[in-house]
Amino acid sequence: MPRPATATIGPRDRILNAAKVGAPAMCVAALWDALDQWFATERFRGSFIANAATELCGSPNHPGQAVIAQHRMALRQLLEDLARKAGAYDPSDLAAELQLLLDGAVAMAAVDHRPAVVAGARRLGNTAVRRQVAGAGVGL
């Protein structure tokens, strides 16, 4: 039986779709919603980028390092765009905080088998967003 189209949409695409149409709060919420959905799938095995980075840490000149760097930069840019759309006073700083939370949530869900970790990441992320938006004088 064919899988529904939504089953093939990855976390990045879910976030991008929400960012295109949503209000600022919805865009940031889409980040955590996408992680929740991804972690709940049978096929979740953590981040292939983090796994590759771990395998290649002793090979700085391996061609895979460029792919890893491109992915990380694209993720950071996506998070910075979300932070900017949310009205953060320092989108780069907020993006770094969100990426740290995202990376930690992925690791805990994969290594510790704690898919429910997203709730804590969402809480901390929302606090960071509120702090950044309040500093910019914009309401979420």
Rounded to 10 degrees, what is the CA torsion of 121, 48, 71, 122? -10
3-state secondary structure 71-130: HHHHHHHHHHHHHHHHCCCCHHHHHHHHHHHHHHHHHHHHHCCCHHHHHHHHHHHHHHHH
Kindly report the pTM of this predicted structure.
Answer: 0.81
**Domains along the chain with CATH numbers:** 5-136 (1.10.357.10)
**To the nearest whole percent, how much of the chain has pLDDT over 70?**
79
- Residue numbers of the chain with a pLDDT score lower than 50: 1-8, 139-140
Q: What is the pLDDT of residue 121?
A: 94
pLDDT digits (tens, 9 = 90+) for 51-81: 888 999 899 899 999 999 999 999 899 899 8
